[in-house]
Structure 1
Amino acid sequence: MSFKVTFIGAGSIGFTRGLLRDLLTVPEFKDIEVSFMDINSHNLEMVTELCQRDVIENGLKINIQATKDRREALKDAKYVFCTIRMGGLEAFSTDVDIPLKYGVDQCVGDTLCAGGIMYGQRGIAEMLDICRDIKEVAAPDVLLLNYSNPMVMLTWACNKYGGVRTIGLCHGVQHGHQQIAEVFGLKKSDVDIICAGINHQTWYISASHKGKDLTGGLLEAFEKHPEFSRTEKVRIDMLRRFGYYSTESNGHLSEYVPWYRKRADEIKDWIDLGSWINGETGGYLRVCTEGRNWFETDFPNWMKDPALEYTTENRGEEHGSFIIEGLETGRVYRGHFNVVNNGVISNLPDDAIIEAPGYVDRNGISMPHVGDLPLGPAAVCNASISVQRLAVEAAVHGDDKLLRQAFMMDPLVGAVCNPKEIWQMVDEMLVAGGQWLPQYGEAIAKAKETLSSGNLIPTAVNYEGAARLKVKSVEEMQQDRDAANKNAGESDKGKDREKVH
């Protein structure tokens, strides 16, 4: 069995190495072609060297093709993994720092809110270029497996405007599933769930054990849990108010809704600083920065460490390899996928990208009908979908009016800022990200004029946020090399949550 798999954004060590291990765990895939592409030569070289060592140590003869030429990498590819971060950490820092000046305090800033919207503007422009290359040089039946955020916006643009069949993939559902099992003292495999909504706002509308409903007892179980009662305050409060548990972490969820981060003096009431993912200001930017710095410094030692073992017990939970396995071998896989709704969830818009249960086998990817979400969770999702739709159309057409409307409609931005502040924030973010926003040339020129006029709303220039921690130095990270390696090497940087309080 031979086909070609291409990784775009292969310099992302956290995703690339693990996804390749998962893929090559499948016995039938020992002769596939693998191509890595990244615009960063240094990262591409390091990741390729490390992954090629893994391949050889596992007794396989696959020779990874590494290139900066995207079309060369995509030529004849049947499956494409996308893990790009457009603008890198340089642009990411503006997604966090500029909104902070206006009081918009984000933990992550890669899905919704001010940071997620601007991240989408950069990513969509690039994704449409990737789609053009895919249509011209990849295999006719190519499938794009998108891991890049903002998941919904990028997947929406690729399907509607890119003309490439695209599925968005995330690990959020697996985490909440594990938590639900844990609060009842059960194994994850013994708890059946139905989880549906939109990425990072997916709801466990059904949870059961041996046919017995667990949903009704979830609130009490979470409130009594010694760790989660402290680390998941936002999620538990949403469960209390809306009746259902949400997939996303405390920090993520807190920035998607208007209630928990709108007042600086209340933010610490809702978060926990034992782990960045529980709500730390700019927490994801910090750990990504630390991970990059550590990998670049410690890379020679990674080559001395044991290779990853391509065995079933070491295979990760990311959906991508299982989807390809199902399509190629016919083995049935059930996961949660981000796809165009088309009636799967009947009270969310048909054009939205929803996340819901799906099945994969040799016949393709099937999405069963979910029906209506409960009204409260549906309302939360619909508020976000309105922002996503505006942001996608803005990015595709370079329409800064729609972009500003997306900011206004965003729940947290709208809770914190007035319209004049939003307009000025968008001007600042357009100018800061200009080199990655080719579709906004005219708007950026006007924004520069406005910002240089001197008639500006005062902002908190040096404001660090309610709960920001400093980036660890390489020397500090060397004190716990295992933790540093996990941070740099995992695609899911919230997987091992520190229990430090």
Structure 2
Amino acid sequence: MSFKIAIIGAGSVGFTKKLFTDILCVPEFKDIEFALTDVSEHNLGMIKAILDRIVEANKLPTKVTATTNRREALEGARYIISCVRVGGLEAYADDIRIPLKYGIDQCVGDTICAGGILYGQRNIPVILDFCKDIREVAATGAKFLNYANPMAMNTWAAIEYGKVDTVGLCHGVQHGAEQIAEVLGAKSPSELDYVCSGINHQTWFIELRLNGRTIGKDELVAAFEAHPVYSKQEKLRIDVLKRFGVYSTESNGHLSEYLPWYRKRPEEITRWIDMSDWIHGETGGYLRYSTETRNWFETEYPQFLEAASKPIDPAKRSNEHASHILEALETNRVYRGHFNVKNNGVITNLPQDAIIESPGFVDRFGINMAAGITLPEACAATCMASINVQRMSVHAAIAGDIDLLKLAVLHDPLVGAVSTPEEVWQMVDEMVVAQAQWLPQYAHAVPAAKERLSNSKVKTRDWAGAARRSVRSIEELRAEKAALKQAG
């Protein structure tokens, strides 16, 4: 087979390498072309050198190109994969820093809550530019695979306004299933059969079977509470499981941002989180992790390049959906996964226009969703709160409507639990002004926002959050890695 895959945001070096090696685990795909594109010529050079080394080491005919000209990369592409972060870590730092001034403590802040909503405002105009290029220069019927957050908002905009065949992809379901299989004592995650449905990062394991035996709430709660690690790291998820009766896919820290109950009082936050790793609830945890990872990669690049000389091992193919979807579409080997698509009746008690994440099957006819799923009422209620915020956020981003943007932020569950309307209005003004270079649709609103900020009487605080850790230096990271290696 010979076709072209374009990867936008290919400068996300580690993730691009994973997608690349996964796809080349499919024997029929050795003759394809990968076209890499990114705004960073520096990062493009690094990832192309790594991928070229992989191709050379495995004696493959695979073609790899790299360009900062996005349309050139997309020309003739059958598949387009996006893993962009518009504004990079600079804008992301504001997504965390500014809401903290108003008492909003986020762990991730890139999919929901104040940070996630502003991230969507930066991404959506760029997503629509991608879609325009796909319509104009990509192969007829090209499929857009979006990995970038905020997943639901980006996918919503691409489908409703970009008019491109789009699917959103995430790995939360796979990771949650691995946890459940482990606590139940399964020898392999493949022993667990499940139905997991909802919206991205609020997906719920509404049906569980281990080797054909149905697993109920009480057994699952007992299994998690008995686990020596997860009982400490997933306290909030376990509490939600007890109250809702079903387990959520999302990490302890990120789930806490989708709900209004666990992060609204600083003195309560530490009760529900665990500081052994950023993902369990640390303030600004993903920002710290991302900053350290970027610094580490820059310093240790020669080692990453050397590792690329090893043969591709199909047994180590990851469970990221992309390669499996492409394999199913091109070879007709059926793949079952969980995909972000427009609802259109798949989940009976969520709106038709919402972007859901639910089970589907892929073959040469496309992605075919399993329809007629009804969520438990509490799960549907929490999903609805986020869907309403997502819808307003997408429409605000399309129209450049700062008033609608403020209403979207006001209706976010955690923001509403923490901040007053006056605080929300000022916070959004401050975020739009700080990120104006990435928000062209709000250029007309920036002068008035600046004027309001200069006359504001709303008080803010200088607060690092309830559980903040400093970014570790390369030397500290190297020492910790050496200590773990010695201990292990």
Match of 2:122 in 1: 122
1:484 deviates by 11
Match of 1:491 in 2: none
Match of 2:423 in 1: 421
Match for residue 298 of structure 2 among 296, 299, 324: 296
Match of 2:444 in 1: 442
Q: Tell me, what secondary structure is at the counterpart of 2:50?
A: helix
Match of 2:342 in 1: 340
> Partners of 2:383 and 2:120 in 1: how far apart?
18
> Partners of 1:99 and 1:241 in 2: how far apart?
29
Match of 2:460 in 1: 459
> Partners of 2:58 and 2:481 in 1: how far apart?
25
1:211 deviates by 2.4
* 1:378 and 2:345 correspond: no
Q: Tell me, what secondary structure is at the counterpart of 1:355?
A: strand
> Partners of 1:340 and 1:76 in 2: how far apart?
26
> Partners of 1:34 and 1:173 in 2: how far apart?
27
> Partners of 2:426 and 2:435 in 1: how far apart?
14
1:480 deviates by 4.3
CA contact (8 A) 2:50 2:308 kept: no
Q: Tell me, what secondary structure is at the counterpart of 1:10?
A: coil
**Equivalent residues in 2 for 1:352-501, closer than 5 Å:** 352-453=354-455, 455-461=456-462, 463-481=463-481
Match of 1:135 in 2: 135
1:443 deviates by 1.5
> Partners of 1:438 and 1:484 in 2: how far apart?
46
1:475 deviates by 1.2
**For residue 297 of structure 2, what is the amino acid of its counterpart?**
F
**For residue 364 of structure 1, what is the amino acid of its counterpart?**
G
1:329 deviates by 0.4
1:482 deviates by 7.7
> Partners of 1:483 and 1:468 in 2: how far apart?
23
CA contact (8 A) 2:402 2:445 kept: yes
* 1:286 and 2:297 correspond: no
1:370 deviates by 3.7
**For residue 259 of structure 1, what is the amino acid of its counterpart?**
W
**Equivalent residues in 2 for 1:104-115, closer than 5 Å:** 104-115=104-115
CA contact (8 A) 1:478 1:484 kept: no
1:224 deviates by 1.8
- Describe the shift of the 1:482–1:109 C-alpha distance in structure 2 as closer, same or farther (beyond 3 A): farther
Match of 2:194 in 1: 193
Match of 1:207 in 2: 208
**For residue 281 of structure 1, what is the amino acid of its counterpart?**
T
CA offset digits 1:185-216 (Å, max 9, x no partner): 01211110000000000000000123221133
Match of 1:495 in 2: none
CA contact (8 A) 2:184 2:223 kept: yes
CA contact (8 A) 1:323 1:360 kept: yes
Q: Tell me, what secondary structure is at the counterpart of 2:300?
A: helix
**For residue 169 of structure 1, what is the amino acid of its counterpart?**
L
Match for residue 327 of structure 1 among 317, 326, 329: 329
Structure 2 length normalisation: TM-score? 0.97
1:305 deviates by 3.0
Match of 1:274 in 2: 276
- Describe the shift of the 1:160–1:483 C-alpha distance in structure 2 as closer, same or farther (beyond 3 A): farther
**Equivalent residues in 2 for 1:141-290, closer than 5 Å:** 141-186=141-186, 187-216=188-217, 217-290=219-292
**For residue 50 of structure 1, what is the amino acid of its counterpart?**
I
1:322 deviates by 0.4
CA offset digits 1:39-86 (Å, max 9, x no partner): 001111111111111111111122311000000000000000100000
> Partners of 1:484 and 1:420 in 2: how far apart?
48
- Describe the shift of the 1:456–1:14 C-alpha distance in structure 2 as closer, same or farther (beyond 3 A): farther
Q: Tell me, what secondary structure is at the counterpart of 2:388?
A: helix
Match of 1:98 in 2: 98
Task: Choose 294-303 or 231-240, whichever is displaced more.
Answer: 294-303
> Partners of 1:172 and 1:309 in 2: how far apart?
28
CA contact (8 A) 1:294 1:484 kept: no
> Partners of 1:46 and 1:147 in 2: how far apart?
21
- Describe the shift of the 1:120–1:483 C-alpha distance in structure 2 as closer, same or farther (beyond 3 A): farther
Match of 1:493 in 2: none
**For residue 221 of structure 1, what is the amino acid of its counterpart?**
A
1:159 deviates by 0.1
CA contact (8 A) 2:340 2:355 kept: yes
CA contact (8 A) 2:32 2:63 kept: no
Q: Paired residues, what number?
A: 485
> Partners of 2:454 and 2:75 in 1: how far apart?
46
> Partners of 1:311 and 1:343 in 2: how far apart?
40
Match for residue 312 of structure 2 among 310, 315, 329: 310
Match of 1:494 in 2: none
Match of 2:43 in 1: 43
Task: Choose 367-376 or 389-398, whichever is displaced more.
Answer: 367-376
CA offset digits 1:400-422 (Å, max 9, x no partner): 11100111110000000000000
> Partners of 1:139 and 1:390 in 2: how far apart?
32
> Partners of 1:215 and 1:341 in 2: how far apart?
27
Task: Choose 203-212 or 348-357, whichever is displaced more.
Answer: 203-212
Q: Tell me, what secondary structure is at the counterpart of 1:414?
A: helix
Task: Choose 95-104 or 61-70, whichever is displaced more.
Answer: 61-70
1:308 deviates by 4.9
> Partners of 1:482 and 1:60 in 2: how far apart?
35
> Partners of 2:482 and 2:190 in 1: how far apart?
28
- Describe the shift of the 1:258–1:68 C-alpha distance in structure 2 as closer, same or farther (beyond 3 A): same
Percentage of matched positions with identical amino acids: 57
Q: Tell me, what secondary structure is at the counterpart of 1:337?
A: strand
